[in-house]
Every structure is written in structure tokens, then in C-alpha cells.
């Protein structure tokens, strides 16, 4: 039987494409000096436990996370960038991501959605540039 860490690591890798964009492994490494346990928490709890629950597809989970981050406003933009990449890696299209953000306008307002769409554009452009390189 796999440990929570092994299960989480496998799940996290399934959402990650290191060649196409920012990923959780870079985030964990960047913060390792000040928060060495953060990576373990992300892998075991978020990806080992929560992301391995039943009933939601990878795409549904990714949209749920994006929606939550958009509602948190501009303070979550770095995480939003990370999870837009995760959503694309999970198989969502750019159009699906854009439309899910547009759907939030009546609930969170234009400023939060405009910030999120601006971040999405940045991610889409960066991935296109990497693909062309």
C-alpha cells in the first residue's frame, strides 16, 4: 500500500508538466529554506488526501481550485498562475479556463476577474513561447 506521500507525489506529477509552465516542485524548492515542511504538507495533504478523493475529475478539481483563487483576489495571483498551468496540464482548454473566470463576474466582481484573466493571458503566452522555443 502506498504512503500518503507516495500517492500525493504520483498525483502531483500527473498535474505537472515542467516543460510547459510553473509547477509545484519549483514552488516547494523556492521556499524550502524557510519552510522545509511545506512540500511534505502539499504532497501528503493536498495531493495525497484531497486530490485523491472520489467523484471529481482532474478537470473539475482544477476548475474548483481556480474559482477559489479568483475569489481571493489579487493576493492569490502567484498561486493562480501556478494553478492555471495545473488546469491546462489536467486537460482544460484555454477557452474553458477563460469561461470559468467569466462565470464568476456576478459573484466576485470585475476587478478580481480582470486580474485573473490578465494572469491567464500571461500563462497562455508563456506556454506558447515555450512551445515555440
- The 10s digit of each residue's pLDDT in 3-52 is 999 999 999 988 887 766 567 888 888 899 999 999 999 999 999 999 99
- Residue-level pLDDT at 22: 60
Q: What's the CATH class of domain 57-133?
A: mainly alpha
Q: What is the pLDDT of residue 20?
A: 66
Spatial separation of the C-alpha atoms in residues 42 and 51, rounded to whole Å: 11
- CA atoms 93, 44, 6, 81: torsion sign: positive
Cell triple for 98: 477563460
Q: What is the pLDDT of residues 89-119, one digit of tens each?
A: 999 999 999 999 999 999 999 999 999 999 9
pLDDT at 21: 59
Q: Average pLDDT, stretch 74-78?
A: 90
Q: Where in the chain are all domains bearing CATH 1.20.1290.10?
A: 57-133
In the predicted model, is pLDDT for residue 71 greater than 90?
Answer: yes
The cell numbers describing 106, all together, are 456576478
pTM: predicted TM-score of the whole model, two decimal places: 0.90
C-alpha dist (Å) from residue 37 to 5, 25, 29: 12, 13, 11
Q: How high is the pLDDT of residue 28? A: 87
User: Quick one: pLDDT at residue 107?
Assistant: 97
Amino acid at each position: 500500500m502506498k504512503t500518503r506521500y507516495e500517492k500525493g507525489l504520483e498525483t502531483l506529477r500527473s498535474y505537472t508538466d515542467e516543460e510547459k509552465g510553473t509547477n509545484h516542485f519549483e514552488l516547494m524548492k523556492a521556499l524550502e529554506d524557510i519552510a522545509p515542511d511545506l512540500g511534505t504538507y502539499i504532497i501528503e495533504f493536498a495531493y495525497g488526501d484531497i486530490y485523491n478523493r472520489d467523484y471529481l475529475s482532474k478537470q473539475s478539481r482544477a476548475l474548483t481550485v481556480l474559482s477559489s483563487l479568483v475569489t481571493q483576489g489579487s493576493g492569490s495571483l502567484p498561486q493562480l498562475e501556478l494553478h492555471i498551468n495545473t488546469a491546462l496540464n489536467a486537460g482544460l482548454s484555454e477557452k474553458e479556463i477563460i469561461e470559468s473566470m467569466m462565470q464568476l463576474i456576478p459573484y466576485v466582481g470585475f476587478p478580481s476577474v480582470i486580474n485573473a484573466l490578465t494572469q491567464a493571458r500571461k500563462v497562455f503566452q508563456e506556454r506558447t513561447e515555450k512551445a515555440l522555443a
